[in-house]
Amino acid sequence: MELAGRTYTFPALPAVDWLSVLMAEDLDLERMVLELCPGGHVLLFEESLELDGLYEVLLDVIEQVSGRKWWIALRFIGVIRANWNVLGAEMFYRGIDPTRLSLSGWLDAMLVLTLKAMDPKDVTMFVSRLEVSPPGEEIAPEEMEMSADQFLSMAG
């Protein structure tokens, strides 16, 4: 990410490192900078830094590492946290290892696990609630379109 005239790089980290920050009950994006970005502590003391700009860039970082829109990632992580007593146990039982997977891979595996645990009649509503964009976040129509190949790949 580029902020305040400098480039900061988040190293490739396993899901467990990202989850240590993103699963907190009260999300603290500054903690993300301090714990996951080498040299991030310098950034937080930059006088010219605007916090709104920092948060916007950090939400972009979450999108990059999660492989989905930031609000989907954060909502789903919240669902997992709220249902950890069941989903956490199922995750360990199935061998989904957050120390060996990227955040994106872990979220993909947990989504499959979550959807399989749900009553099929509840899946569409769950996914719709997960994906609805927050006020002020617009999704370009081309991002919402799914090709026939993408649709058919979901059936397999």
Q: What is the pLDDT along the chain (156 residues), one digit of tens a residue?
A: 887 777 888 999 999 999 999 999 898 988 999 999 988 888 777 777 777 788 999 999 999 999 999 999 999 999 999 999 999 999 999 999 999 999 999 999 999 999 999 999 999 999 999 999 998 887 655 554 545 455 445 544
Instruction: Please give the Cα distance from 156 to 153 (Å, whole number).
Output: 6
Share of the chain above pLDDT 90, in %: 62
Residue 149 confidence (pLDDT) = 56
Sequence-separated (6 or more) residues with CB below 8 Å from residue 118: 126
Residue 151 confidence (pLDDT) = 46
Phi and psi at residue 143, to the nearest 5°:
-75, -25
Indicate the DSSP class of residue 134: P
Sequence-separated (6 or more) residues with CB below 8 Å from residue 72: 66, 130, 131
